[in-house]
Chain A
């Protein structure tokens, strides 16, 4: 987990509210990723960014939004349009795209009440 921080560790949200998950890295990595983890389903890619001020949708982007204004930060907003947002969210980064290893943060567990 070293070098990538995610906050908060646990987050509770009421239905209809937007919430933003923080992801910061001090590894000087260009690429950053957001994944969602549900029991028995592995990890699914939500959004990824290969460079500052640029990002692309992953496999399950609906109901989510991101920004990449700084190299070290890649916040994820879970909007009210996301139908089933309760999950474990993981942020990752890599030196660049391609063959580089992705390193993961400790995760944020989001629960919608």
Chain B
């Protein structure tokens, strides 16, 4: 079955420290992976995606993600967290086939404390 798992409901970090939000996936074929961020009562904003190529993907607002095929993971990272990074983060994988449909994880709330 195709699925995405975000094992942590919430991640707490201090401002200035590095952050990691975890994502693992299960999909047949080559995965297309995405990270989105959502602020309260807003739509999702696209951060970055992995389609092919370099395993380290750089995205918006200083975020990056590392694709690890052997561990079927796509963890989101940032070297130095900001209070303004506090939000809900979603990992998503495109389903097999050519429909463009995405499977979303449950979401991880990131809390950055000053």
Contact = CB atoms under 8 A, between A and B. Distances in A.
B45 A104 contact: yes
Nearest to B34: A101
A73 interface: no
Contacts of A99: 32, 51, 94, 100
A97 B106 CA distance: 23
24 contacts: A1-B42, A1-B43, A6-B43, A31-B100, A33-B101, A40-B106, A41-B106, A42-B90, A42-B106, A45-B101, A48-B100, A48-B101, A58-B101, A97-B98, A100-B100, A101-B46, A101-B49, A102-B46, A102-B102, A104-B46, A106-B43, A107-B41, A107-B43, A109-B41
Interface of B: 9, 32, 34, 36, 41-46, 49, 51, 90, 92, 94, 98-102, 104-107
